[in-house]
């Protein structure tokens, strides 16, 4: 099977076919993934554990494809999601270690403890989950950033609708 070098396509094939191609495609992903994002994307689709501390170390210098327009934002969302749902302490520690070079990841992991909302890019508000809006809106600077995000982002209308329903 030719996959044109994409670990993400291989993961999608596993997701679509179930156990049928699990072993060979999982091995293929492990050998051909080019970025941590590839591995994280595959992990999102596959029930088998792919991510380990060794995998994080292997891709430390190549986290995501810098040419992908929205790839960094989706990568950070996947990391934050996996951090919260993963029961693996070694993975949580690896993700926490990435916050040194990705401050928006530190924000995404727990926006409520961010010390200074004035310092964030309004685009970071995309990492705030629906269940946190009530708490975020209590902070004046955070409310200002959320308003700015709603006014400037193509996704802002979705947040406006969520907030309108809460009112």
Per-residue pLDDT tens for 3-47? 556 888 889 989 899 888 899 999 999 999 999 999 999 999 998
Q: What is the pLDDT of residue 158?
A: 78
- Identify the band that residue 70 occupies on the pLDDT scale cut at 50, 70 and 90: confident
Per-residue pLDDT tens for 101-152? 999 999 999 999 999 999 999 889 989 988 898 898 899 999 899 889 888 8
2 pLDDT above the threshold of 60: no
Q: What is the pLDDT of residue 166?
A: 65
- Identify the band that residue 55 occupies on the pLDDT scale cut at 50, 70 and 90: very high
167 pLDDT above the threshold of 80: no
Gap between the Cα atoms of 79 and 77, Å rounded: 5
Give alpha helix (H) positions in the chain. Answer: 7-17, 22-32, 36-45, 53-58, 71-85, 89-98, 103-109, 133-136, 140-152, 156-166
Q: What is the pLDDT of residue 63?
A: 93
Taking only Cα atoms into account, the Rg of the chain, rounded to an integer number of angstroms, comes to 18
Q: What is the pLDDT of residue 93?
A: 96
């Amino acid at each position: 099977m030719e996959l044109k070098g994409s670990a993400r396509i291989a993961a999608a094939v596993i997701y679509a076919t179930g156990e049928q191609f699990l072993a060979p495609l999982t091995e293929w992903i492990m050998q051909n993934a080019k970025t941590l994002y590839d591995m994280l994307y595959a992990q999102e689709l596959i029930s088998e554990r792919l991510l380990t501390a060794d995998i994080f170390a292997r891709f430390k210098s190549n986290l995501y494809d810098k040419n992908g327009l929205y790839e960094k934002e989706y990568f950070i969302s996947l990391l934050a999601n996996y951090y919260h749902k993963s029961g693996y302490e070694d993975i949580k520690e690896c993700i926490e270690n990435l916050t040194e070079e990705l401050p928006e990841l530190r924000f995404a992991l727990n926006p409520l403890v961010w010390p200074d909302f004035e310092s964030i890019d309004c685009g970071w508000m995309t990492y705030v989950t629906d269940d946190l809006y009530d708490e975020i809106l209590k902070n004046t600077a955070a409310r200002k950033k959320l308003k700015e995000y709603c006014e400037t982002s193509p996704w802002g209308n979705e947040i406006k609708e969520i907030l309108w329903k809460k009112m």
